[in-house]
Amino acid sequence: MTNQKKPTKTTLQTLAGKLGISKTTVSLVLKGDGDRYRISRKTQQRVLECAEKEGFVPDFLARALATNKTATIGIIFPDVHESFMSEMLKGIESVFYESDYSLMISTSGFDTEIEDRNIRQMLHKKVDGLILVPYVPIARNNYKHSYMKLLSKTDCPFVFADRLPENAGSLNWIIQDDFEAAEKAVCLLFEKGCRSIGCMSFNLSTSSINNRLEGFKSGIEGCGLPLSSRSIILLDRQDPHSDDITGRLLRDNSLRTEYDGLLITTGGLAHKTGYLLRKALPADKVPVIAKFGRDPDYFDTGMIQIIQPNVNMGIAAARVLLDKILNRDRSPIQKILKSRIIDIGEKNEEKCN
């Protein structure tokens, strides 16, 4: 029996030798950076054709071991079905794909144990950085983000986006102006003649919701309106399609009749509530609704829209993380991005483009 000789593995050096150019030039072309480094299109084509002919396959593991970099960014969302998360992802992609990073995306499915596991797995897989949109359960569940201790000990840079867990105030984060946006929305409802303004929200223990509720209170007080125990309606089921909303609106007649204006802290909840109120009340009795989130592309809800800077938030989070990866500066970067308010009947130019 004859010993079969293993085929020689094609390397960057092999390709460079065959082409008569430097190994660096070959590497840049195969990474897609030929244009950025002004390598001629003719040379790029020669490199690609030679790599295909020789059956070259990049050894990313060897590269990671040599550089201690995986060129991978970990992203952890609670869910990706909500539009604001897909918009944020669009912004994140635009930054990292230009910088030759791949994205590894996980979702917790609104499960705290899965979220904790995902973060640990990302760190074990040596991602170069993490962007986290933390899951926040119903306030009464008293959930603690156990991964915070792990993150405090890691050398892996990370950025929180959209919302913050407890004790994250001194870390890297990008959020929107939830307090100011809620306050302005209440003032707009007041300008429209609303004098009995309520706020409906899921009862979540998260910075974004808390800031919206505080902004609502500030707006009410600023307009000289009374604030009572019935001004804020908190729901303990974290699902805009649940019977919790329907039950509250149908059981308590005053919820349908005592408000002429409502600030609703999430889009899905606003759409369900508006639908139920339109079914239960005459058109002239339906409260004016201001909601966080844009209208769907396929219909106008007739609500005031608080347009959050989701794409820009993704871009900003990615840029902050990239800066931390490249510079390893430990001083925190924190940004609050401005939202836009679109009045009823006002054209959303961003949506139309």
CATH number of the domain bearing residue 223 = 3.40.50.2300
Per residue in 118-130, pLDDT (tens digit) is 999 999 888 999 9
| Contact predicate 266/238, CB 8 Å | no
263 with 186, same domain: the answer is yes
191 with 296, same domain: the answer is yes
Q: Phi/psi class of residue 55: alpha, beta or left (left: φ > 0; alpha: ψ in -120 to 50)?
A: left
Per residue in 301-310, pLDDT (tens digit) is 999 999 999 9
Percentage helix, strand, coil, to 5, in the chain? 45, 15, 40
227 with 275, same domain: the answer is yes
The more confidently predicted of residues 249 and 320 is 320
| Contact predicate 294/307, CB 8 Å | yes
Total structural domains within the chain: 3
Which pLDDT does position 152 carry in this prediction? 83
pTM for the full predicted model: 0.78
**CA–CA separation, 324 and 172 (whole Å):** 9
pLDDT at 349 over 60: no
| Contact predicate 88/311, CB 8 Å | yes
Would you state the structure tokens that stand for residue 190, as one six-digit string? 């007041």
Span 189-208, average pLDDT = 92
Per residue in 179-193, pLDDT (tens digit) is 999 999 999 999 999
pLDDT band, very low/low/confident/very high, at 52 (cuts 50, 70, 90):
confident
Which residue range forms the structural domain that includes residue 284? 178-307
- Average per-residue pLDDT in the chain? 85
pLDDT band, very low/low/confident/very high, at 353 (cuts 50, 70, 90):
very low
Q: Where are the beta strands (DSSP E) in the chain?
A: 72-77, 102-107, 129-132, 158-161, 173-176, 197-202, 232-235, 261-264, 288-292, 304-307, 334-337, 340-342
Which pLDDT does position 46 carry in this prediction? 92
192 with 260, same domain: the answer is yes
130 with 38, same domain: the answer is no
226 with 321, same domain: the answer is no
